[in-house]
Chain A
Amino acid sequence: MGNQALQKKRLFSTLYYVILLISTVIILIPIIFIIISSFKTETQIFSSPWSLPASLDFSTYYEIFVHYNMVNYFSNSIFYSIVSCFICLVLTFPASYAICRMRWRASKYVMAFLVSGLMIPVHAIIVPLYITVSKAQLPHNFALIFIYAAATIPTALFLFVGNLKSIPVSIEEAAVIDGCSIPRLLMSIIYPLSRSVMASVIVFTFLSVWNDLLIALIFLSNERDKTIPVGIMRFIDSYFTNYGFLLSALVVTIIPTIILFAFLSKYIVKGLTAGAVKE
Chain B
Amino acid sequence: MDKMLRDKKVIILFIAPVLLVFSCFIPFPLISSFLLSFCKWDMLGNIKFIGFDNFVTMFTVDDIFIKSIGNTVQYLLYSVIMQIPLAIFFAILLTRGRRFEKFFSNVLFMPIALSGTAVALMFYFIYHPTGVVNSLLNVIGLSSLTRPWLADEKTAMIAICVRVAWQYIGYHMVIYITGITNISDDLIEAAKIDGAGIWQTTFRIILPLLKPVAMVSMILISTSSLKSFDSIFVMTKGGPMNATEVLASHMYNKAFLQLNYGYGSAIGTILFLLCVTVTFTLTWLFNDKGTAKFKINRRMK
A residues whose Cβ falls under 8 Å from a Cβ of B: 13, 16-17, 19-20, 23-24, 26-28, 30-31, 33-34, 37, 46, 49-50, 87, 91-92, 94-95, 97-99, 101-104, 110, 113-114, 117, 119-132, 146-147, 149-151, 153-154, 157, 172-173, 176-177, 181-183, 207, 210-211, 213-214, 217-218, 228-229, 232-233, 235-236, 238, 243, 246-247, 250, 253-254, 257-258, 260-261, 265, 268-269, 272-273, 276-279
Contacts and interface: CB of A to CB of B under 8 A. Distances in A.
Contacts, number: 260
Interface magnitude class on chain B: 35 or more
Interface of A: prevailing SS: helix
Interface of B: prevailing SS: helix
Contacts of B135: 49-50
B82 interface: no
27 contacts: A26-B166, A87-B21, A92-B18, A95-B18, A102-B11, A110-B15, A114-B18, A117-B26, A124-B271, A132-B29, A150-B24, A151-B26, A173-B1, A213-B116, A229-B117, A232-B118, A236-B121, A246-B121, A247-B125, A250-B125, A258-B110, A261-B106, A265-B110, A268-B113, A269-B106, A269-B174, A273-B174
A98 B271 contact: no
Given A110-B19, A121-B227, A124-B268, A276 B33 contact: no
Contacts of B112: 272
B25 A119 contact: no
B109 interface: yes
Contacts of A149: 21, 25
Nearest to A147: B25
A123 B29 contact: no
B31 to A, nearest CB: 9
Given A232-B121, A250-B121, A24 B107 contact: yes
A120 B15 contact: no
B265 A127 contact: yes
A46 B128 contact: yes
Nearest to B247: A123
B37 to A, nearest CB: 9
B29 A129 contact: yes
A38 to B, nearest CB: 10
Given A121-B271, A277-B178, A101 B113 contact: no
A102 B118 contact: no
B32 interface: yes
Contacts of A278: 178
A243 B125 contact: yes
Nearest to A210: B115
Given A23-B90, A127-B264, A214-B248, 9 more contacts: A20-B100, A33-B132, A91-B18, A91-B21, A117-B27, A150-B25, A153-B26, A243-B128, A261-B113
Contacts of A254: 114-115, 118, 122
A122 B251 CA distance: 12
B33 A124 contact: yes
